[in-house]
Amino acid sequence: MVKWAYIITSIICAFRAKKWSNFFISLIDIYLIGFSVKRRVFEILLGFGLCHSYHSANYIIGSIVEEAEVC
């Protein structure tokens, strides 16, 4: 029950303040890229506002990799 409450709250926050609450959306992007989801799925979820575009998700992954290399 707590997981669903967290997910619903995160979605509501994402719709209310996209600039400040994009952690959940970025987390979904990373999850989808990790499971090799096709671009069409990204487009559908982007239409609902639940994730970034496929190119943005790849950029997020690339920035994480660059930060990990520095550390």
In terms of residue numbers, what domain contains 35? 2-70
The number of distinct structural domains making up the chain is 1
Q: What is the pLDDT of residue 16?
A: 65
Which amino acid, one-letter code, is at 46? L
Residue 62: phi, psi to the nearest 5?
-65, -40
Tell whether the model's pLDDT for residue 22 goes beyond 80. Answer: no
Q: How many angstroms separate the CA atoms of 22 and 14, rounded?
A: 6
Digit-coded pLDDT (tens) for 32-71: 988 998 999 888 888 887 788 889 888 888 888 898 888 7
27 φ, ψ to 5°?
Answer: -65, -40
10 confidence band (pLDDT: 50, 70, 90) = confident
In this prediction, residues 14-32 reach a mean pLDDT of: 74
pLDDT value, residue 19: 57
Tokens of 70: 């520095």
